[in-house]
Amino acid sequence: MKQFPEENEIVICTVKKVLYHTVFVTLDEYKDKEGIIHISEISPGRIRNIRDYVRENKKIICKILRVNKEKNHIDLSLRRVTPSMKKNKLDELKQQQRAEKILEKLEKQNKLSKTDVDEITKIILKTHENLYSFFQDTLTNPELLESIPKKLQEPLKKIIQERIKLPEVKINSLLILQSNADNGIEEIKKALKKAEDFAKSKKQDLKILYVSAPNYKLTLTSSDYK
């Protein structure tokens, strides 16, 4: 775990103390680290009562403005966090909690010690930014599991498949296919067959429905929009 956050990083905080012009918080993801939010960074516009926005023990999502490592001083902002930043951070938190649940189940099922789990975590974090991204990547690249002890590879794979599903994107499209060639129908059939084969080679699900000449409906399901 990093000792200090980076400037512009989005972090989860717990409000520790609320004063007239200042809010003191603890940074949940950084052990023993505290920060300060000045009243000007709470919300745009004039603030009559700071407690309308923050209260003790409340969880809030903030942006890191400045970090002074020598003085152990961290300035944060609440008002500079956009709705999309907040959503992304909450999604990240949910993923982290899901990843921790996967390791907890692996620990319980295989009677592992805390040291065993810590070692597995260290191995994973050598190649990935966090546990969840590693678990998600194993769904398309199972060879990644070879980095952990052999006896745990299959049990972990099973738990991951139970707990994590790859995101899917579904696109519907209406195509108008026409040909003036003598064998126009055959040419259209060949084109649609090529589309099916291409989708299969990319491990995507393509369904083609004949509506009425010259209209065809295509439904493509994939893990990647592009």
Instruction: State the pLDDT at residue 1.
Output: 59
Non-local CB neighbours of 137 within 8 Å, separated by 6+ positions: 128, 144
Interacting residues of 24 by C-beta distance below 8 A, sequence separation 6+ = 15, 16, 17, 18, 34, 35, 36
CA–centroid distance for 88 within its chain: 7
Reply yes or no on whether the pLDDT at 204 is more than 80: yes
pLDDT tens-digit map of 152-197: 999 999 999 999 987 778 899 999 999 888 898 899 999 999 999 9
Q: pLDDT tens-digit profile of 24-53?
A: 999 999 988 999 999 999 999 899 999 999
Q: Using H for helix, E for strand and C for coil, what is the string for 161-222?
A: HHHCCCCCEEEEEEEECCCCCCCHHHHHHHHHHHHHHHHHHCCCEEEEEEEECCEEEEEEEE
- Classify burial at 94, counting beta carbons within 10 Å of its beta carbon; exposed 0-12, middle 13-18, buried 19 or more: exposed
Q: What is the pLDDT of residues 3-28, one digit of tens each?
A: 899 999 999 999 999 999 999 999 99
